[in-house]
Amino acid sequence: MTTPLSPPASLPPASFPPAGLPPASARFAPYEPLASLLLPMLPDAGDGSHDVAHLQRVWSNVLAIAAEEGGDREVLAASCLLHDCVAVEKNSPLRAQASRLAAERAGAILAGLGWTGPRTAAVQHAVEAHSFSAGIPPRSLEAEILQDADRLDAIGALGIARCFYTAGRMGSALYDAADPHAERRGTDDARFALDHFQAKLLHLAGSFRTAAGRRLAMLRHQRMQRFLAEMADEIGQPR
């Protein structure tokens, strides 16, 4: 098994772009002041699939869904910014607890900013319910929107990129050369990146909560299906 490479120490944190470029918080309009307070509090775990760019993409998805579904935009902004505020690796035994840990920390962070009562609780619930691994049903529109927005980033072209990026970090192979489609064995996405599509990614489109999220998810689901057909052809194992 290949040893995962550590990112070069010279790379600057993604939340601090080179001089002359707009700050990362600018992408969270109209809640740039909130983002400028929260972004420096987030962990820098060296995980390019859960970095500031991921938060920016999720916020873009949130806005697209909320434009049709509604929801409290400030609660959504805080939830988006804090949903990964505790970093837990994919292969950690604590993975299923990550969103609960993040919800606890989100409450503490917001309390430090003067948030109280139901609005803090609304953010905490959205954060804890966003995770696929946790399996917590969302009980509010904001929680449904955040869950859908985060899952959109796990499928489609970005989902493909994040899947293979994470597999590389974990030291996994691209696929099982003897049985790439897991036709004669159980799926094992800890060993083979391609197995993650059957194990999880191809099932996500059916789990979206909002009408807008479901429509966007189907477009990204179709992109993954096209990719898998093309990859199968290129490795000489068409389906």
pLDDT tens per residue across span 132-181: 888 899 999 999 999 999 999 999 999 999 999 999 999 999 999 999 99
Q: At 38, phi and psi to the nearest 5? A: -85, -35
pLDDT tens-digit series, residues 85-102 = 998 877 777 777 889 999
What is residue 57's predicted lDDT score, i.e. its pLDDT? 98
> Is-contact 16 44, C-beta < 8 A?
no
What is the model's pTM?
A: 0.88
Amino acid letter at 138? P
**β-strand partners of 192:** 173
What is residue 24's predicted lDDT score, i.e. its pLDDT? 93
Please enumerate in sequence order all residues whose Cβ is within 8 A of that of 85, keeping only pairs 6 or more positions apart, or say none: 41, 42, 43, 102, 105, 106, 109, 127
Give the separation between CA 59 and CA 79, rounded to whole angstroms.
10
> Is-contact 102 82, C-beta < 8 A?
yes
Strands (E), 85-209: none
Is residue 11 pLDDT above 70, yes or no? no
Residue in 201, 184, 179 with CA at minimum distance from that of residue 49? 201
Amino acid letter at 205? A
> Domain 154-239, what architecture?
Orthogonal Bundle (1.10)
Q: Which residue matches tokens 């600018």? A: 26
What is residue 103's predicted lDDT score, i.e. its pLDDT? 96
**Taking CA 182 as the corner, what is the angle to CA 230 and CA 224, rounded to the nearest 5 degrees?**
35
Residue in 2, 163, 154, 22 with CA at minimum distance from that of residue 84? 154
Give the separation between CA 108 and CA 207, rounded to whole angstroms.
30
Q: Domain limits of the chain? A: 22-139, 154-239
Give the separation between CA 227 and CA 26, rounded to whole angstroms.
33
Residue in 144, 131, 156, 138 with CA at minimum distance from that of residue 69? 144
Q: What sign results for the dihedral spanned by CA atoms 155, 94, 104, 50?
A: negative
Looking at 19-28, 66-75, 148-157, which range is the least confident one? 19-28
Q: What is the mean pLDDT of residues 109-133?
A: 95
Q: Which residue matches tokens 């399996």? A: 135
Q: How confident is the model at residue 1 (pLDDT cuts 50, 70, 90)?
A: very low
Give the separation between CA 22 and CA 81, rounded to whole angstroms.
18
